[in-house]
Structure 1
Amino acid sequence: MPLWPVYTGTRTPHDGIDELPPPPPWRAFDGGPALALPAEADDAFAGSPDRAHRAETYRATEETVQLVNAALYLRRPLLVTGPPGTGKSSLAYAVARELRLGPVLRWNITSRSTLHDGLYQYDPLSRLYAARRVLSTAGRSSRAGAGRTGNEGVENHLRLGPLGTALLPHTRPRTLLIDEIDKSDLDLPNDLLNVLEEGQYEIPELVRAARDTPVAQVLADGTDARVPVERGRVRCRAFPFVVLTSNGEREFPPAFLRRCVTLRLRQPDDEQLAGIVRAHLGEPDEQARRLIERFLSRVGGGDLATDQLLNAIYLARASDLGAESLDELAERLMPYLGLGPQTDVF
């Protein structure tokens, strides 16, 4: 029998992803040649202690567990919405850690982001300079061939982006975090529809070069390793676990929403906040509980996020200020201090 849930939210790594049932017939993909996950899959957070901490301490609700599994079973993107600080981006790292899906591929969206940016980057100028160097060398040396050599090849001036890498034909799904999709240009969600629906894309520069180079070795995102791309076409094998996050700053097209599993995260209550504090900083003491109460009394206005509470509690424990001074300092810090730009720690 298939395993449900595959993602349990227990924060214990396992190989349950191998127990996923076959995809629905309309979401089956057959890309190749098959690629294994990166060699660092078992140590996905090496060199990133901040991301490792977020993955290890993430506390998933029952609704989160159910909808993550729905996205995994249906091979659909997961659209996660909610206020800042509720753990939208941390969820991607937590799932990748528990299911051993390797390093998370992250695409941070701005108003200037385009679909092309996510798929691949090609530098025609560097190729032109390389071709000139080859011609110059050929003119000085009779041993130099007039054909394609060294850096003259297209693939040496092209690197896959996070979306393009996630859609490679891996035998296990990669995790792709498309962060703050609501900050994108109005056209990007619609542009993503076809790629995420079909699970494939083309690289025109490699398609044109396929006569001379049917299999190009291309750099993948986040690594110096090269992967084979046949005739300029990439098609996934295991559909990636795609997490799109949104702070709710805009509406999305109905066609885009129909193709996503949607999860709405809410501000945690007092019991959940105590659990979050416990996971990050240990058992809440009297001072921490007082700060939690103050946080809850003000969070309804939308001006506070969970990471601000954690910062105030950490500072209270790390300093030797008296209770009155601590209260005053926390009051000053909570409206403004976060862990960093758009950081989730839930």
Structure 2
Amino acid sequence: MFEGTGVPLDPADRDARWPEAPPWRRFLGVPSEGDPPDDEAEATRRLGLAAATLLERSDIGLVNAAMHLRRPLLITGKPGSGKSSLAYLIARELGLGRVLKWPVTSRTTLRDGVYEYDAIGRAQAALNSRANLAGHGGTVAKSIARMRVDSRQSGRESEMRPDPGGPPISDFIRLGPLGTAMVARRLPRVLLVDELDKGDFDLPNDLLNVFEDGSVVIPELVRLRAASESVTVLTDDPGHTAVVDSGVIRCAEFPIVIVTSNGEREFSPAFLRRCVRLAVREPAGDRLNALVRAHFASAENFADLVRRFEEQRDLGDELAADQLLNAVHLAKAGALDDPQAVDDLLGAVWQSLSPGARPR
């Protein structure tokens, strides 16, 4: 399926070749109509105008294995080695629409990826619908503050219900990247879980049920009076919505999940066995030239700069590919034309990323 060229496949050919899921990775979601939105501008920003890949042939085989098995692809490698770009390369080549990006930090929780609920906004809307703000603005503000305190004291802020007759709760729920990726569609979405190793220790294991079940739950919608009620909520795709039945989102095709890690921590065996693992190597030689061509249409004019970049790495400096692109852009603008200034400028642009490396 995936060849790593970045050249979009013909949709009919893609659909005819789409691999069947293993019996244990088939899910019960009913695909919704319509295709996901595209974002070619973001793909071009990430990949360049031309087709280029930093992957070896064996790496492309692992990508296809993850797609066939409907398993997340865990990619490790040094910063700047092209880990996150792979998600955009897959989405462009297979015509799977906008990449759903979930950047992970030390404060990220599973709920952040699934959905967000604006409880305070709903409280404000409910009170505003029943009060004359011109005469009771102070009362409204005090009521919201009191509700916030009461809900925090009970430990259930997300369950604030200011008025049974107020605005529907679904108006204040927005699916996150993970929740949007789980919306049932005919073809899978591409989900980039970026730098999972920076997350809380429990986050990878919290993802296990999602990866196994192919579904996520929104408790606020599960608690609606009508157990089978369907509601429409916003998604991570700007201006788009999705229908949620009974508070549960079930995928039809498991998303193509790209999980990146800079190797700052180890993951549990339970998490690792659910992933296909790929270690991306630093681009060199022809792959560096292909990267330059993708963004600048030509690599020949910058061959000396590429060679100098590789020599600098060979001396022990840890450099990322985007640092080379920075230097090429400066050269294209004429900033490196002065022989007396070029060493200082490249020294500033090509600062080593190695821990403890001294600034030049």
Residues 31-180 of structure 1: pairs in structure 2 closer than 5 A: 31-32=29-30, 34-38=32-36, 40-41=37-38, 44-46=39-41, 49-51=44-46, 53=48, 56-136=51-131, 148=165, 152-180=167-195
Identity in percent = 46
SS of the residue corresponding to residue 88 of structure 1 reads coil
Number of residue pairs matched?
319
Aligned residue among 330, 339, 342 for 1:326: 342
AA of the residue aligned to 2:349: L
In 2, Cα distance between equivalents of 1:242 and 1:210: 34
In 2, Cα distance between equivalents of 1:8 and 1:51: 18
SS of the residue corresponding to residue 113 of structure 1 reads coil
Aligned residue among 5, 12, 22 for 1:10: 5
Cα distance, 1:135 vs. partner?
Answer: 3.5
Q: Deviations over 1:132-179 (max 9, x none)?
A: 233337xxxxxxxx9746xx1110111000000000111110010010
Correspondence for 2:308: 294
Residue 233 in 1 paired to residue 248 in 2? yes
AA of the residue aligned to 1:293: R
Cα distance, 1:269 vs. partner?
Answer: 2.4
- Segment of structure 1 superposing worse, 117-126 or 58-67: 58-67
Cα distance, 1:33 vs. partner?
Answer: 5.3
In 2, Cα distance between equivalents of 1:104 and 1:210: 35
Q: Deviations over 1:71-101 (max 9, x none)?
A: 1111000111101111111110011011010
In 2, Cα distance between equivalents of 1:298 and 1:314: 18
Assess, with a 3 A threshold, how the Cα gap between structure 1 residues 285 and 46 changes in structure 2: closer, same or farther. closer
In 2, Cα distance between equivalents of 1:223 and 1:281: 30
Per the normalisation by structure 2, the TM-score is: 0.82
Runs (4+) of structure 1 exceeding 4 A deviation are: 46-49
In 1, Cα distance between equivalents of 2:212 and 2:75: 18
In 1, Cα distance between equivalents of 2:289 and 2:50: 18
SS of the residue corresponding to residue 48 of structure 2 reads helix
Per the normalisation by structure 1, the TM-score is: 0.85
Q: Is the 8 A contact 1:45 1:52 kept in 2?
A: no
Residues 242-321 of structure 1: pairs in structure 2 closer than 5 A: 242-285=257-300, 288-299=302-313, 301=316, 303-319=318-334, 321=337
- What stretches of structure 1 of length at least 5 have no aligned partner? 1-5, 138-145, 338-346
- Segment of structure 1 superposing worse, 79-88 or 55-64: 55-64
- Segment of structure 1 superposing worse, 215-224 or 270-279: 270-279
Correspondence for 2:351: 335
AA of the residue aligned to 1:235: R
Cα distance, 1:59 vs. partner?
Answer: 4.0
- Segment of structure 1 superposing worse, 48-57 or 27-36: 48-57
Q: Is the 8 A contact 2:31 2:186 kept in 1?
A: no
- Segment of structure 1 superposing worse, 122-131 or 228-237: 122-131
Assess, with a 3 A threshold, how the Cα gap between structure 1 residues 22 and 148 changes in structure 2: closer, same or farther. farther
